[in-house]
Structures are given as C-alpha cells and as structure tokens.
Amino acid sequence: MKHLLSINDIDRDFALTILDTAAEMAKVTDGPVKKLPTLRGKTVVNLFAEDSTRTRISFEAAAKRLSADVINFTAKGSSISKGESLKDTAQTLQALGADAVVIRHPASGAAHRLAQGRWINGTVINAGDGTHEHPSQALLDSYTIRKHLCGGTGDLSGIHVAIVGDILHSRVARSNVLLLTKLGATVTLVAPPTLLPHQVEQWPVRVSYDFNAVLPTVDAVIMLRIQQERMSDLYFPSEREYSTLFGIDSDRLGLTKSGTILLHPGPMNRGLEISAEAADSEQSVVVEQVANGVSIRMAILYLFIAGSQESVNG
Amino acid sequence: MSLALNESDITRALTRISHEILERNSGSSDLTILGIPTRGAHLAHRLAAIISTIEGAPVQVGTLDVTLHRDDLRLRAPRPLMETVIPSLGVEGRTVVLVDDVLFSGRTIRSALDALGEIGRPIRVQLAVLVDRGHRELPIKADFVGKNLPTSKSQSVKVSLREHDGVDEVRIEGESA
C-alpha cells in the first residue's frame, strides 16, 4: 500500500483507520500549537496541472502542520505550460527527492501513470485525475458525514446519501460511491439521464431523476458542481431548467428531515446547482468540509509516508 | 515465562503510588493524570479512581497519545493513532502525572513530554510507572514506581490488564542473560 490512486486501493478497515487518524489530527489543529514534528525531513511536492484552490492549499496546510517541506508546482508558470511531458516533470521531481507527490491532473489515469511509470520512488497521492477519482475528497466527505450523523465513530451503516448533479464528469462522485458503499451507506444518484455515466446500473447505487422524491429519505446530500470546462455537448436545455429540476434551494431543503446535512466539494456555482440561501443555511457544512479536508490530508500523509518505505516494503 | 506481579500485587502497587502522589503534591486539587495508551491509559484511570476515593473529590484524568512525536517513526510502518483526551481544566499551570505501564528506554516518555508541550505548559510533570525494567537510553527517571524488575535486554516484560487483556498480571518472557 504505497500509493493512494483510487478508493479501491484501500479496504474498509484502512478507510476507518484514516477517518480515526483524521479525528486525532483535528485535535492538534484545534490546539494552541498547530504543528507536529512527524514528517520532519520529508519532502511533499504538490504537482497541480489543473486549477485548484481547496485541495492544493489543504494538502499544503496538512504537509506543513506535519513539518514536511512543501514544494508547490502548478501548470501555470511552470514548464508544463511549455508542453513538458509528465515523464520529464516526474524525473525532475525525483531529482528533488520528493517523498510524496500529490498530483492533480486533467487527464484520467495521470496519477496511475505516474505511480506505475517507475520514474519516481516517492508515494503518489491522487488529488483528482480528470473524470476518474478524487479519493481524499471522498474521505473528507465520509469524515464529515460520520462526524455529524454517526457520532464520529464506526462506519456509515444505515446512512442514506444522495449525490446530485453532474455524475458523468465527476471524479468526486466516483470516489464517493466507492467509499460510501464500502462503509455501509446507501447511495442514490440524482441527475438528468444525460449526466449519468454509461452502465450506471452496474454501480452499487440507486438512481433517481426525481430530486423532490428522494430528499425526504436522505441523511446527507452531496451537491456536485456543473463542470462547464468538461462539457463539450449540451447536456441540458438551459441552466435555468437544470437549476429548477436539480438545484438545491431553501424550498427543497425544507423537504428534508431535520438533521440532514448538505455538502458540496466546491467551488460552488451559486444560483446554478445550489442557491445562496441553501449554501449559507444551517444545514450546510460546506465550510466545515474545508477544515475537515486538512485533517484528512494530514492523516493520509502520515499513514502513507511517515514510515520508512524500505522497511515497509522489505 | 515467570510471573512477576499478580492481581493483588498490582492493586497494592497502585494504591501505594496513589498515596505517594497525594503526599508529594499535598492533595489532588492541582493534579492532572494523563495515561499513555493503551495500558498506561487504563492505569491512569485506576489511579484516578483510587485517588478520588481517598480524597473524596473527582480527579482530572485523561489520555495522551505520543505516536506522532516518536523518534522511530522513520524506522517502522506508520501506526494508527490512539485517542488523546485532555480533561476539562487542561494542563496549563497544573501538575501533570504521566502514567505508563513499563519504563524501558525512556523514549516513549520523551515523546510524551514533547506531546504535552504542544497542549500547554504544566507547572511540573511527574512520572508514574507500574514496572521499571531498566536499560534507559535517555536521562529519564520515574517519580513513582510500582515495582523495579531487573531484566536482561533480550527479555520482554508483558503487562496484562483486566480492561484490555481480561486479567491483571505482569510476566517476564525469555531467558535472563
């Protein structure tokens, strides 16, 4: 278990270990000294070939709180924008002695390529690859749900989660479906048929086109961003129609049970998939997700790179 | 595998340590007892229960996980973290009694002192252990010791506690050199 490329890389017990570890990391973050010596002398490279705010600063904050050295590497302003290949970039990182490479890339499978290419010795952590996976986001979503609805311990048995919106292009949805079902939750996908992936019927989920009918039955709602940058075709007639049928606003929130929480991975398109009132409501945990993201990423970095790779792998 | 302490030995040792802690600190009002998981945490709760019975007042007790401060992290596979619970009054300006089952190299206690420093600044820190088996690698000494057990380095000391192992006993495993 050297790389975190997909939720499929971790089993249920290890996923719970990550969540438990994150809960302890959160206590450090709440304390007067927000710094641990754990990763002193380790180097973490943030390789972001695609725009990101939350994930990048969250991994950076996590690495710094564990005393790792952090090198940020973004597409804009680096040789990636001059057309340097992933292999050449990776070899540069290897020369820098990176213990971990946190990679965000517009191409699905980029993290996998980096890990399997044998170009680098470090641990590869997938921070979102194209429309494939975003495991740390799924872990922080499960952490947030568990904290609010399960008393912060155990798995997510008996919890019903709706994932709503652009499932087709969403790596967040793919990772979340894998992790939530692994942890025992029931998942319902809500989207127009055009935004559901092929063979979704083979996923371990329910599918609905009727948001209002699903809302009273769920404990948590994960809204997904409409990803204009990945949309090459017209997937719905108009933004207004999408918003009316699949957006969440205060009226729709009113259909939920009390205690149902509202998540969004960010960045939010206010007025499109989520109204400003819903985003800022009592039920919204969007801001808390960011704080939880730091704890989860501290846990991931600790569990994947704190030990000696030599001794772990023999 | 020889039995070093049985259930009543352990109970007597903990009772004596409780009295020594109270004597040294003139009561329990400024005390915060922090056990190092796993077995140190159980011992800390037992000490707190005995002290609160003697004093007739509740004692501040909690647990302190030291994993993230260990100096051997780089040498081994990462371990899951244990729970840290700091009691309501915190550690700032209080007398903290760290509790562990076995004092050996002293490295766990060094990690605990670092972990403690991140939570606050106690007025003083004392150390209580059930067993001191020697072989210190750092200049660390226990204030309260249940039993000194001379051992060779190749032996291991196995502490079992009711809460965690179903039985109270301390055994020495392996041949003495």
Question: Each residue of A123-144: pLDDT tens digit?
Answer: 999 999 999 999 999 999 999 9
Rounded distance, CA A24 to CA A298, Å? Answer: 10
When pLDDT is cut at 50, 70 and 90, the band that residue B79 belongs to is confident
Residues of A marked active site are found at 54-55, 82, 104, 134
Whether the CA torsion A155, A157, A160, A163 is positive or negative: it is: positive
Average pLDDT, chain B: 94
pLDDT digits (tens, 9 = 90+) for A148-161: 999 999 999 999 99
Find the length of chain B. Answer: 177
For tokens 């200049």, the residue is B139
3-state SS assignment for residue A101? strand
Q: Quote the pLDDT of residue A90.
A: 87
DSSP of chain B: -EEEE-HHHHHHHHHHHHHHHHHHHTSSTTEEEEEPTTHHHHHHHHHHHHHHHHHTS--EEEE---GGG-TTGGGS---PPPP-B--TT-STTSEEEEEEEEESSSHHHHHHHHHHHHH---SEEEEEEEEE----SSS---SEEEEE----TT-EEEEE-HHHHSS-EEEEES---
Find the length of chain A. Answer: 314
Q: Which strand (E) or helix (H) includes residue A222? A: strand A220-223
Q: Angle at Cα A136 formed by Cα A134 and Cα A142, nearest 5°? A: 105
Residues of chain B in contact with residue A31, where contact means CB-CB under 8 angstroms, are 118-119
pLDDT digits (tens, 9 = 90+) for A22-44: 999 998 888 778 889 999 999 99
Mean pLDDT score, B105-109 = 96
Q: Quote the pLDDT of residue A231.
A: 72
Enumerate residues 196 to 225 of chain A having a beta carbon within 8 A of any beta carbon in chain B.
none
Structure ipTM: 0.79
Q: Quote the pLDDT of residue A100.
A: 94
Rounded distance, CA A142 to CA A159, Å? Answer: 11
How many other C-beta atoms can be found within 10 angstroms of the C-beta atom of residue B25?
Answer: 15
Name, in order, each residue with C-beta under 8 angstroms of B176's C-beta and a sequence gap of 6 or more: B151, B152, B155
Q: Smallest Cα–Cα separation from B122: which of B113, B109, B134?
A: B113
A151 reaches B (C-beta below 8 A): no
Q: Which strand (E) or helix (H) includes residue A294? A: helix A286-305
When pLDDT is cut at 50, 70 and 90, the band that residue A262 belongs to is very high
Q: Which of B63, B65, B68 has the most A C-beta neighbours within 10 Å, making it the best mutation to test the interface with A?
A: B68
Name, in order, each residue with C-beta under 8 angstroms of B122's C-beta and a sequence gap of 6 or more: B32, B91, B92, B93, B94, B95, B96, B116
The two three-digit tokens of residue A129, written as one number: 């690859």
pLDDT digits (tens, 9 = 90+) for A45-55: 999 998 888 99
Strands B156-160, B169-173: pairing kind? antiparallel
Separation in Å, CA A172 to CA A13, A209, B169, B172: 21, 19, 51, 52
Nearest CA in chain B to A17: B80
Nearest CA in chain B to A301: B78
Q: Quote the pLDDT of residue A27.
A: 87
Yes or no, beta carbons of A20 and B65 under 8 Å apart: no
Residues of chain A in contact with residue B80, where contact means CB-CB under 8 angstroms, are 17, 20-21, 303
pLDDT digits (tens, 9 = 90+) for B110-143: 999 999 998 999 999 999 999 999 999 999 999 9
Yes or no, beta carbons of B78 and A311 under 8 Å apart: no
Residue A314: pLDDT over 70: no
More confident residue, B146 or A308: B146
Q: Quote the pLDDT of residue B177.
A: 62
When pLDDT is cut at 50, 70 and 90, the band that residue A86 belongs to is confident
pLDDT digits (tens, 9 = 90+) for A206-239: 999 999 999 999 999 999 999 877 776 788 888 8
Under DSSP, the state recorded for A198 is: T
Inter-chain contacts counted by CB atoms under 8 A, chains A and B: 57
Enumerate residues 5 to 24 of chain B having a beta carbon within 8 A of any beta carbon in chain A.
none
Q: Quote the pLDDT of residue A52.
A: 87
Residue A270: pLDDT over 60: yes
Residue A312: pLDDT over 80: no
The whole-angstrom distance between B172's CA and the closest CA on chain A is 28
Average pLDDT, chain A: 91
The two three-digit tokens of residue B40, written as one number: 């140190």
For tokens 């989520």, the residue is A274
Q: Quote the pLDDT of residue A310.
A: 46
Q: Quote the pLDDT of residue A147.
A: 97
Q: Quote the pLDDT of residue A308.
A: 61
The two three-digit tokens of residue B156, written as one number: 């291991």
Under DSSP, the state recorded for A274 is: B
Region class of A76: left (phi > 0), else alpha (psi between -120 and 50), else beta: beta
Rounded distance, CA B108 to CA B114, Å? Answer: 10
Q: Which of A117-121, A257-261, B37-41, B101-105 has the lowest mean pLDDT?
A: A117-121
Rounded distance, CA A303 to CA A295, Å? Answer: 12
Q: Quote the pLDDT of residue A212.
A: 97
